[in-house]
Structure 1
Amino acid sequence: MHPTEPSQTAAPSPDAPGPGTPSAGWHPAHDGGRPEGRRCAHAPDVTVPPPPHPDECEDCPPGDPGRVRLRRCTTCGHVGCCDSSRGRHAYAHYASAGHPVAVSLAPDESWAWCYEDETFLVAGAS
Structure 2
Amino acid sequence: MTCQHLKEATEPTPRAPYDGGCPECVAGGFEDWVHLRLCLDCGYVACCDSSPRRHMSRHHEETGHPVMRSYEPGENWRWCFVDELLGA
Q: TM-score range by the shorter chain?
A: 0.7 to 0.9
- Is 1:106 equivalent to 2:72 in the alignment? yes
For residue 53 of structure 1, what is the amino acid of its counterpart? P
Q: Which residue of 1 aligns with 2:34?
A: 68
**Aligned equivalent of 2:55, options 74, 89, 112:** 89
Deviations 1:27-77 (A, max 9, x none): xxxxxxxxxxx4412122222344672432232134522101110100011
What are the equivalent positions in structure 2 for 1:1-126 lying under 5 Å apart? 38-50=1-13, 53-55=17-19, 56-62=21-27, 64-122=30-88
Report the aligned-residue RMSD: 1.9
Distance 2:7 2:84 in 1: 16
**Once structures 1 and 2 are overlaid, which stretch shifts more, 101-110 or 45-54?**
45-54
Looking at secondary structure, tell me which structure has more helix per residue.
2
Rg: which structure is higher?
1
Residues matched between the structures, number: 85
Identity level (%) = 42
Structure 1-normalised TM-score? 0.60
Kindly state the Cα deviation for residue 110 of structure 1 after the two structures are TM-superposed: 1.2
Moved more, 69-78 or 49-58: 49-58
Q: Which runs of 5+ in 1 are unaligned?
A: 1-37
Q: State whether residues 58 and 78 of structure 1, in contact with CA within 8 Å, keep that contact through their aligned partners in structure 2.
A: no
Distance 2:18 2:63 in 1: 19
